[in-house]
Amino acid sequence: MFEYFYNEIFRKTLIGFGSLFNGIEVKKTDQSGQVTSITKVPLAYGPTQKFLARIDENPSLDKAVQITLPRMSFELVGIRYDPTRKASQTQTFLAPSTSDSGDIRKTYLPVPYNLEFQLSIFTKLNDDMLQIIEQILPYFQPAYTLTINLIDIIGEKRDIPIIFEGISMQDDYEGDYTTRRALVYTLNFTAKTYIFGPTSSTSTDIIKKSTISLVSGESGGTRIKEVSYSVEAEATKSYTNNIVTSLSREVNIAQTELLVANSSQLTVNSRITIGEETMLVKNIQANTIIVERGYYSTSRSQHLIGSDIKLITSADDLLIEPQDNFGFSGLIF
């Protein structure tokens, strides 16, 4: 835990949000309706107070200073955990590496977070302000979905909704009638993104498969008999938390006949876990299953009615950690 990793998810979301407002323009026309000038509104990252301080130094905006209007700025103002999108804390998923298709990467399911943004618009003229906000608001009803590649190494792309939360307006007059402070509109947004932890390679953790060939003898250069034995590592628990049914009756240590709520996702030779005990399904009769208890030398224990039954699949076999217990499936051919 707490090893170094950096997926740049906050940074990518920040850049993605800012890129939405890059191409906004303000046009000015003469009395005949002909366009006399087109100004691309500059966009910068920074707090609103910094730009207001520059404007305060020259409220009339009639001198050559460091800031000209119109312009926009945006900033990240808050990060909040979103419990409504919570997933399992221990469930993992697999994905191939984008650089090596043979390298399978493992990571835990992401944690949902909401990033709160503020977009501030500064203009001298009210018509400029109306042009800008009218180029923004129609795209948010109230959300605009942005696709972001959150983890480059596995190509994990997610649709991130950018939700428009509201707008506040500031239109202050100071000094005489010829002096006017800039109009400031502040638009609030929430980006519903996901934060991933570190990814680890499953291809170098343990030896997943081993094959041994034996030759009993030769006669005239011809092999008399050859036998190969192949073994593959099998998981003794469900790393993917794959719950398929539950117990409909309490089970003691000795029982091998289990009554389950639904056996439709189980087959003969399925590996299942209840608590810390692994079992092998030997027979299925309706919703009654016959199992081999304490499979792979796991400890038998009593299980209560309603206990979750998890199915172990090949996806779990790929997630075996070096320090974990595991079994072997053997095949002679």
Could you identify the residue written with the tokens 């939405």? 20
Q: Are 164 and 146 in contact (CB under 8 A)?
A: no
* Mean pLDDT of all residues in 177-181: 57
Residue 267 lies in a domain: yes
Domain count, the chain: 2
Give me the CATH number covering residue 14: 3.30.2000.40
Q: What is the pLDDT of residue 108?
A: 73
Q: Are 181 and 170 in contact (CB under 8 A)?
A: no
Sign of the dihedral defined by the CA atoms of residues 253, 258, 260, 263, in that order: positive
Q: How far apart are CA 45 and CA 48, in angstroms?
A: 9
Q: What is the pLDDT of residue 65?
A: 46
Do 248 and 148 sit in the same domain of this protein?
no
- The identity of residue 34, as a single letter, is Q
Query: Last residue of a domain, which of 198, 213, 248?
Result: 198
When pLDDT is cut at 50, 70 and 90, the band that residue 4 belongs to is confident
Q: How far apart are CA 328 and CA 292, in angstroms?
A: 16
* Mean pLDDT of all residues in 14-24: 92
Q: Are 260 and 248 in contact (CB under 8 A)?
A: yes
- The identity of residue 228, as a single letter, is S
3-state secondary structure of 50: helix
Could you identify the residue written with the tokens 């009654």? 288
Backbone dihedral angles phi then psi of residue 83, each to the nearest 5 degrees? -70, -20
Count of other CB atoms within 10 angstroms of residue 67: 18
DSSP H or E segment with residue 190: strand 183-195
- The yes-or-no verdict on residue 76 having pLDDT over 70 is yes
Secondary structure in 3-state letters for 14-54: HHHHHHCCCCCEEEEECCCCCEEEEEECCEEECCHHHHHHH
Do 148 and 193 sit in the same domain of this protein?
yes
Do 302 and 168 sit in the same domain of this protein?
no
Do 303 and 191 sit in the same domain of this protein?
no
Query: 173 is written with which tokens?
Result: 């007059």
Q: Which domain holds residue 163?
A: 9-82+111-198
> For residue range 209-250, what is the model confidence (pLDDT) as tens digits?
555 555 556 555 665 556 666 667 778 888 888 899 999 999
Backbone dihedral angles phi then psi of residue 327, each to the nearest 5 degrees? -115, -170
CA separation, residue 98 to residues 5, 103, 105, 238, 281 (Å) = 18, 9, 10, 26, 37
Model's pTM, two decimal places? Answer: 0.56
Percent residues over pLDDT 90 in the chain: 41
Q: Are 210 and 231 in contact (CB under 8 A)?
A: yes
Do 137 and 16 sit in the same domain of this protein?
yes
Q: How far apart are CA 182 and CA 40, in angstroms?
A: 18
